[in-house]
């Protein structure tokens, strides 16, 4: 199942490979960040794959806490198009106010 789509640069990919935990590059904050550094919902990397054009990296992860999305859901892809309307198809597992109140 696809949990999230995030940006990586060379540094974040190297740190991910070295630590076994997913690290990404925040384009808005202009810094490296570890998935789960605030929420505790760390992504433990099980496998790293590269696509045929060698421009997309896929991480197979074990999602800590079962929550990958900052909205408190399992996946960032919690909406689907159904008869021309976006429908929420995944419940909130934990209120984001509780997750990020630490």
What span, in angstroms and rounded, lies between the C-alpha atoms of 79 and 85? 10
Domain boundaries, the chain: 10-99
| pLDDT tens digits for range 10-40 | 999 999 999 999 999 999 999 999 999 999 9
Task: Kindly state the helix (H) or strand (E) to which residue 12 belongs, with its residue range.
Answer: helix 10-19
Say whether pTM exceeds 0.85. yes
The average pLDDT across 55-77 equals 97
Within 10 A of 70 (CB to CB), how many other CB atoms are there?
14
Task: Output the CATH code of domain 10-99.
Answer: 3.10.20.810
Q: How confident is the model at residue 100 (pLDDT cuts 50, 70, 90)?
A: confident
């Amino acid at each position: 199942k696809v949990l999230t789509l995030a940006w990586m640069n060379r540094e974040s990919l190297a740190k991910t490979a070295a630590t076994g935990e997913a690290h990404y590059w925040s384009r808005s904050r202009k810094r490296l960040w570890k998935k789960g550094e605030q929420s505790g919902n760390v992504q433990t990397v099980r496998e790293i794959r590269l696509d045929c054009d060698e421009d997309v990296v896929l991480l197979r992860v074990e999602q800590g806490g079962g929550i990958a999305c900052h909205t408190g859901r399992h996946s960032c892809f919690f909406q689907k198009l159904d008869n021309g309307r976006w429908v929420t198809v995944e419940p909130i597992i934990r209120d984001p106010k509780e997750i990020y109140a630490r």
